[in-house]
Amino acid sequence: MKRSYSPVLLLSAFAVSLASCGGAARSAADLEALAARNRQGHSPADVHFMANMIPHHAQAVLFAGWAESHEASSSIQIFCARMVVAQRDEIVTMRSWLLERDEPAPPAEYSRMRMPADTDHHAMSGMLTEAQLNELDNARGADFDRLFLKYMITHHEGALAMVDELFSSYGGAQNDFIFKLASDMYADQTTEIEHMQVILDTYEPGR
Cα separation, 33 vs 36, in Å, equals: 5
Q: How far apart are CA 174 and CA 141, in angstroms?
A: 44
- Evaluate whether residue 7 is within a structural domain: no
Digit-by-digit pLDDT tens for the chain (207 residues) are 444 545 554 555 555 555 444 444 556 666 566 555 666 789 999 999 999 999 999 999 999 999 999 999 999 999 999 999 999 999 999 999 999 999 999 999 998 865 544 444 446 889 999 999 999 999 999 999 999 999 999 999 999 999 999 999 999 999 989 999 999 999 999 999 999 999 999 875 544
27: in domain: no
Q: Is residue 48 part of a domain?
A: yes
Among 69, 71, 74, residue whose Cα is nearest residue 11: 74
What pTM does this model have?
0.80
Structurally, the chain folds into a number of domains equal to 1
**CATH, residue 137:** 1.20.1260.10
Q: Which domain holds residue 49?
A: 41-114+122-202
On whether residue 177 sits in a domain, the answer given is: yes
73 falls within a domain? yes
- Between the two ends of the chain, the Cα-to-Cα distance in Å is 23
In a domain, 28, yes or no: no
Is 176 inside a domain boundary? yes
Contact between 182 and 173 (Cβ < 8 Å): yes
| In a domain? residue 169 | yes
